[in-house]
Amino acid sequence: MHSSVKSTLGSVSSALAEKFATRNSLEQGISPEQLDQIIDAIVRGKYSWACVLMLRFVGYNPMHYIPYRTYCRLVKEHKQQDQQSSSATVVPFRKGQRVQDAD
């Protein structure tokens, strides 16, 4: 590899490392309640919604990563599910909890 390519790659990787270090120091992380929401979405098989939640909770705009129409559909579906399940109590899955068979 040429020395100019090596120096360019080195400066790019150090700039990226600095950017991520700064971003990580500014972010609070995901709270236990938020993690419960993400895990609940995964357990229910709503993987796209789990991605939306993860992006939101770490401070990213999901619309920068998910097509507009898809994002709108996911939000609409989630609102409908919230309205339907408002009368039912949902117990979130917790770490260490065993999943019971539905037999």
Q: Is position 18 within any domain?
A: no
Contacts by 69-76 with C-beta closer than 8 Å and gap 24+? 74/48, 74/49
Find the domain containing 40 and state its range. Answer: 29-92
CA separation for the pair 76, 71 (Å, rounded): 9
DSSP state of 1: -
Look at residue 10 and tell me if it is in a domain: no
**Residue 22: C-alpha distances to residues 4, 11, 13, 83, 88 (Å):** 27, 16, 14, 39, 42
20 located within any domain:
no
Residues 6+ apart with CB under 8 A from 75: 52
Q: Is residue 78 part of a domain?
A: yes
Domains in the chain: how many in total? 1
Residue 63 lies in a domain: yes
Question: Is 3 domain-assigned?
Answer: no
Task: Convert the pLDDT of each residue in 37-84 to its tens digit.
Answer: 999 999 999 999 999 999 999 999 999 999 999 999 999 998 888 777
Question: Is 53 among the domain residues?
Answer: yes
Q: How confident is the model at residue 22 (pLDDT cuts 50, 70, 90)?
A: very low
